[in-house]
Amino acid sequence: MPAALSYPMNMARYDWGFRTEPEPHLGGRVLATPRGKVIGGSSSINGMVYVRGHAKDYDHWEQAGATGWSYADVLPYFRRMEHWHGRTGDPSWRGHDGPLHITRGPCDNPLAQAFLKAGQEAGYPVTEDPNGLQQEGFGPMEATIWAGRRWSAAFAYLRPALRRPNCDLVKGIARRIIIEDGRAKGVEIDSYNGLQKVMARREVIVASSSINSPKLLMLSGVGPGEHLREMGVPVVADRPGVGRNLQDHLEIYVQRAATKPVSLFRYWNLWGKALVGARWLFTGQGLGASNQFEAGAFIRSRAGVDYPDIQFHFLPIAVRYDGRAVAQGHGFQAHVGPMRSPSRGSVTLRSPDPAASPRILFNYMSREEDWRDFRACIRLTRDIFGQEAFRDFAGPEILPGEGVQSDAALDEAIREHVESAYHPCGTCRMGAVDDPMSVVDPECRVIGVEGLRVADSSIFPRVTNGNLNAPSIMTGEKASDHILGRVLPREEREPWIDPDWRAAQRPVPRVTTQAAE
């Protein structure tokens, strides 16, 4: 049930349960890092939000050494994987017969409608399709939901493939890649039947997430040589970039109380949840069939930023990802955070034991730009919530709190309340073969080992705008063609960029006078 998204990502049965090391710039806080321990990976436990990323994200990838991964190169793969059910926007930018169903919620809650209207009142553009021509602006959010159910990568790809005679599913925990004479020969797994070796006739493809993929490579002897020797792992290929370049999106929940009982809090009780669940169970419809992230926005933080660097998820209830609602009752919130933090962290081995969780240190908020951009996020959100559209709904601010105004006070609130948006990536970075920090080449082949590829979010040179499920699936689509030795023709299309981006933070002068910086 899509509305029950907080449950699987907090259940040991489905989640690896990773946690960061104490983050030094967040007062030593330890943050959750959910990753899917289930068929379909994190697409089976995530929030189901579908965002391609901005075209310029992929042009940056190519500039960083990922030749052949510009927007013109990846757009055909986004279109190939999509079965789009959108109602507005230019359909020529989207795919219509792919395996991944993409839908939009009704967005009929009065608070969600107020959010979209407030964006216009504040001078921001409207976008009919943030995954098409124009990402920047306020508009609908899309989700991997179909027929009222989560549409994971397992439903879209694996289940149909299992009907083929040449596709088998073996369940187990991967311990290491078997590498002999510089070539990957198979994988050693710990299964219900004990240790097994699954051998490969041609190649081994790792798609274990930005946390487990570098861990598996290091356990197999591919990684920073000094670190591997410290762990007692024989070095097969000294690749210092393995586990480095770890990135994520942080976000803070800007919450306000609602003065009218129009939020989803009315269902936040045993009887309300039973009604929502029963309707979903018997009809596949209603509130249970949505992740409730039905309205959102991408904006720029200041003049001189050429494409959006802030994302909003709007939610018509004041609640946390772990499912805890705030005590104040009716409310609403925007999840807001910067898209391109310069901070970088790492994933390293805790021990050579494959059962041990790796050390994860994102090094969040380690750069001054992070603090500047987060303060802008909060102030710009307050500006939006202060528009006329929210006049009939907006009560006191719950978080960070109306008394939190100065830079120092905002910094303290950020340090205490920011949470991961669960978008880790970058730990097996794709780049040029002669770049010592590259882990895979532009065909996803691990540098220094024959017959081994990585195809997941770990290969991203830099985090993309928005949620990472769509770019991760696109990576799998494109990697599959590289494995087969083919490539789709490029599609040269120019996305919308605000022509006045150098001089203005938004296209229309702001209505209010509250400062954004």
Per-residue model confidence as pLDDT tens digits over 304-358 = 999 999 999 999 999 876 656 665 789 999 999 999 999 999 999 999 999 999 9
Tell me: is residue 262 an annotated ligand-binding position: no
As beta bridge partners, residue 206 has 454
Q: Is 337 helix (H, G, I), strand (E, B) or coil?
A: strand
Residue type, 407: D
51 contact partners, CB below 8 Å, separation of at least 6: 130, 131, 141, 142, 311, 464, 465, 466, 467, 470
Q: Are 70 and 58 in contact (CB under 8 A)?
A: yes
Task: Reply yes or no on whether the pLDDT at 515 is more than 60.
Answer: no
Cα(33)–Cα(44) distance, rounded to whole angstroms? 15
Cα(264)–Cα(299) distance, rounded to whole angstroms? 26
Q: Among residues 54, 335, 423, 482, which one is catalytic?
A: 423
Domain boundaries defined on the chain: 2-154+246-425
Torsional class of 181: left (φ above 0), alpha (ψ -120 to 50), beta (otherwise): left
Cα(41)–Cα(209) distance, rounded to whole angstroms? 8
Distances (CA, A) of 100 to 70, 97, 155, 356, 470: 22, 9, 8, 34, 10
Q: What pLDDT does residue 13 have?
A: 92
pTM for this predicted structure: 0.95
What mean pLDDT do residues 251-258 have? 96
Task: Reply yes or no on whether the pLDDT at 514 is more than 70.
Answer: no
pLDDT band per the 50, 70, 90 thresholds, residue 415: very high
Tell me: is residue 49 an annotated ligand-binding position: yes
What mean pLDDT do residues 248-268 have? 95
Q: Are 511 and 383 in contact (CB under 8 A)?
A: no
Task: Reply yes or no on whether the pLDDT at 503 is more than 70.
Answer: yes
Task: Reply yes or no on whether the pLDDT at 508 is more than 80.
Answer: no
Quickly count: other Cβ atoms within 10 Å of residue 243's Cβ.
30
371/269: higher pLDDT: 371
What mean pLDDT do residues 490-501 have? 97
- pLDDT digits over 478-491, tens only? 999 999 999 999 99
- pLDDT digits over 79-136, tens only? 999 999 999 999 999 999 999 999 999 999 999 999 999 999 999 999 999 999 999 9
pLDDT band per the 50, 70, 90 thresholds, residue 401: very high
239-243, 256-260, 316-320, 471-475: segment of lowest average pLDDT: 316-320
Tell me: is residue 336 an annotated ligand-binding position: no
5-19, 54-68, 69-83, 89-103: segment of lowest average pLDDT: 5-19
What is the topology classification, in CATH, of domain 2-154+246-425? Glucose Oxidase; domain 3 (3.30.560)
- pLDDT digits over 184-226, tens only? 999 999 998 899 999 999 999 999 999 999 999 999 999 999 9
Q: What pLDDT does residue 516 have?
A: 40
Quickly count: other Cβ atoms within 10 Å of residue 396's Cβ.
12
Question: What are the start-end ranges of the E strands in 289-442?
Answer: 295-299, 310-315, 331-338, 346-348, 359-361, 394-399, 419-420
Q: What pLDDT does residue 324 have?
A: 62
423 annotated active-site: yes
Exposed, middle or buried by CB within 10 Å (0-12, 13-18, 19+), for 185? middle
Q: What pLDDT does residue 364 have?
A: 98
pLDDT band per the 50, 70, 90 thresholds, residue 517: very low
What mean pLDDT do residues 22-51 have? 96
